[in-house]
Amino acid sequence: MGTIATDRVLPAWADEVRRRYLRGEAWEFILHGNVYDVLLHDGKLVTVSEFLANVLLAPTKDTVILYNLSTGTRFTKRKFGVDGYEDLILSKEPGKVLPLMERALTTEDRVGVILEYAESIVPAADVSLSSTDDRSSVITLHRWSLLRQMEKADSIILLIAENLAELHPKLVSNPRVATVRVPMPSKEERKAIIRHVDPSQSDGDVERLAEVTAGLKSIQIKAILTPAEASSDDVQARSKYLEELLGGGASAKERAEKLAHITQGMSRDEIRKLIAPDGKVAAGQTSDSRAEIDRLVAARKREIIERECFGLIEFVTPQHGFDVVGGMEEVKKDLGLIAKNIREGRTKRVPMGILFTGPMGTGKTFVCEAFAKESGLTTIKLKNFRSKWVGATEGNLERILSVIQAIGQILVIIDEGDRAFGGTSDGDGDGGTSSRVIARIKEFMSDTENRGRVLFILMTNRPDKLDIDIKRAGRLDRKIPFLYPQTADEVILILAAQFRKNKVKIEGGVGDYLVSAAGMVGYSNADIEAIVLLAADYASERGPDVAVGVGDLARATLDYLPSRDVEMIEYMELLAVFEASNRRMLPKKYADLPVDELQARMQLLKIKCGGRR
C-alpha cells in the first residue's frame, strides 16, 4: 500500500484513516459524524474537506479531486495532463462525473478523491424506488472498493456524510469500505479553539469555557465567542442597556462592552433574564462577569443544540429538589446517594441507567426532575425521533447520541419508554426500524465508558411492553417502583409536600388532616394534588388568603371523583413490584405476600388487562 502524510500530528480520526490505509485494510473510506465542522491547523481554521485535501492527501498524492452535486468537480492539486480533466470540470451529474473519475483512478497513480455530501450521490433508498442514476452510482462506488488497481496505484477515495443511515446500505455494509467517525471536539480541542478566537482569555477562563461549551462544534464555539459584525448603533444600544442592567459604574461599562457582542441577536427581555435572572446584579465583581458570560454561552449552546437536533430533544431546567417530594423515603434515599456519587465524581458507583415504573400519577416525572436538580447534571428529554422516511429515524437517533456523547455529565430522560421503543411487538411492519433503533440504544446504554457521564432514566407504566434485554443490569441497573400511597401516614407526607409545592396555607398542623388522609389511601399523587387545590378553592369562598381548614379538605375529599380503572392500576402496580430491584422499596402490602400469590394475581390481571394501554 502507498502512503498518506505522516510528518505532522493528525487528529485521532485522521490518523485512523492513515493507519488503516497503510495496513491495506481499505482504499475507500466513509467519514461520518462531525464532518461539517472546522479544525484548527497551523493557526488557521479549515473545513474537514480542506484538511483532507491539503493536509492529509496533498503531500503524497499527485492529484486531489473534490466533488459534490452542487459545485461539481474541483482540483486542489493536479498532475499535468490528467485524463478527462476538461470533462470533469464541466460536468456535475454523478452519472457523468463518476465514470470520468474512474478513468482517472485507473489510468493515473496517486489520486485522491473526496466525495462531499455522499448521501446525495448514493442515498439510502429501496432499490425499486431508486433512479437508474442512483443505482448506477451505488454500483460504481461499490466496484471501486474491489478494484486492486487502486491499491497498486496508491489511490484513495473518501466519502463524506454526516449520517451513515442516509447512505445506501450496500456501501455501509461493504467490508471493503471502512467507516471512520469524526467526533465532536474534545475538551483539549475546544480549549485550543477558544484560545484561537479569543487570545485575551486567561487559562482559567479558557478551562471554564471549555467545560461550558461541551457538546458544541468548533464552528459554533467560534460563532458564540466572535459573532458576525453588527452595526455600531446596535452594539452601542445593547451596551447601554447592559450597563443599566449591571448598575452603572466603570466596571459595569467594561463588562457591558464585552457582553454586547455575545448577546447579538437576543431580545432585551432575553438579555435581562440571563444577566439578572433574579432582578439583581452586583456590580464590580469579576466572578459576576464570568457568571454572566457562562450563562450567555450556556443559553447559546442550548439554543444551538436544540436547533441542531431539529426538536428531537428538549432541555429540562428543574425547579425543585427532593425537599418538595412527599413520602417515598426509600426512593429518595436511593436516588440521593446516586446524586451524591455523581456530584463527588465517584463514577464507578453510578448506575448506567434507572427504570422508573408504576401506574400513572405516582410522581415519576416529578421525582425525576427533583433528581436532576439534586445531581446537578445537564438534563434533556428525548422527543419523538421517529420518521416515516427511510433511514431518517436511525439518522435522528445517531444525531441525538452524538450530542449526548459530546456533552457528557448528562441525564437523559425517556418518558413513556414503552412507546418510544415500542411500535410493533416484533419490529415487522416498519421495515425493521424498531429493532434497529432498540439495538442501537442498547449498544449505547451498555457502553461502560459512559458510566458516570451519561445516565438514562426511562419511565413507563407498562414495563412488560419494553424489550426484555434493555431492562437487564448493565443498561438499567436500578428499577424503582412508584406505587400509590398505601397508608394514611404516607398520604399525610404527600399532603404536606403538596401544600408546600402549591403554597397553600393551612390551619394548624398537617397531622390534623389524618381523617381526610385516610380517605385518600390508594389515590395517585396527582389526585391528592387536585384535592388540595380543590380545598384551596373552597377556602377562598370565605375570602382571599384564607387558610385551608380540616372541613375544606374533608369536603374536597368527598367531592372529588378520581377517574380510575382499578384492575389496570393494580396490574401496573404488580408489574412495578416484579420489576423492583430492592425489596425494601416495596410497601408492606406487597413485601410480605408470597411470590406465588403475587404471580397468580398478576397472571389473572394480565389476561384481563394485558392487551389494553
Tens-place pLDDT, residues 556-567: 999 998 877 788
CA distances from 101 to 31, 73, 87, 174 (A): 19, 10, 10, 21
> Which sequence spans correspond to the domains of the chain?
12-182, 187-308, 313-481, 489-613
Does residue 161 contact residue 167 with C-beta atoms inside 8 Å?
yes
- What's the chain's average pLDDT? 83
**pLDDT at residue 425 is higher than 60:** no
Residue 459 CA from chain centroid, whole number: 17
Strands 478-481, 378-382: pairing is unpaired
**Domain covering 313-481 in this structure, CATH number:** 3.40.50.300
How does residue 515 score in pLDDT terms, banded at 50, 70 and 90? confident
Euclidean distance between the first and the last CA atom of the chain, given in angstroms as a whole number: 60
SS3 readout for 57-119: HCCCCCEEEEEECCCEEEEEECCCCCCCHHHHHHCCCHHHHHHHHHHHHHHCCCEEEEECCHH
Q: What is the pLDDT of residue 355?
A: 93
What kind of architecture, by CATH, is found in domain 12-182?
3-Layer(aba) Sandwich (3.40)
Q: What phi-psi label fits residue 423: left (phi over 0), alpha (psi between -120 and 50 degrees) or beta? A: left
How does residue 266 score in pLDDT terms, banded at 50, 70 and 90? low
Does residue 230 contact residue 266 with C-beta atoms inside 8 Å?
no
Strands 156-160, 111-115: pairing is parallel
How does residue 284 score in pLDDT terms, banded at 50, 70 and 90? very low
**pLDDT at residue 78 is higher than 80:** yes
Share of the chain above pLDDT 70, in %: 84
With 0.75 as the threshold, say if the pTM is over it: no
Does residue 563 contact residue 458 with C-beta atoms inside 8 Å?
no
Torsion angle of C-alpha atoms 19, 20, 23, 25, degrees rounded to 10: 180
The three-state secondary structure class of 525 is helix
The three-state secondary structure class of 114 is strand
Q: Which fold has domain 489-613?
A: Helicase, Ruva Protein; domain 3 (1.10.8)
| Residues found in the chain | 613
CA 447 – CA 449 distance, rounded (Å): 5
Q: Same fold for the domain at 313-481 and the one at 489-613?
A: no
CA 121 – CA 386 distance, rounded (Å): 24
Q: Give 439-503 as a DSSP string.
A: HHHHHHHT-GGGTTTEEEEEEES-GGGS-GGGGSTTTS-EEEE-----SHHHHHHHHHHHHHHTT
**pLDDT at residue 269 is higher than 80:** no
The three-state secondary structure class of 579 is helix
Does residue 377 contact residue 409 with C-beta atoms inside 8 Å?
yes
CA 314 – CA 316 distance, rounded (Å): 6
Residue found under cell 388540595: 532
CA 298 – CA 301 distance, rounded (Å): 5
Does residue 158 contact residue 189 with C-beta atoms inside 8 Å?
no
Say which residue, 388 or 376, is predicted with more confidence: 376
CA 418 – CA 415 distance, rounded (Å): 9
Residues 6+ apart with CB under 8 A from 26: 20, 145, 176, 177, 178
Phi and psi at 397, nearest 5°, equal -65, -45
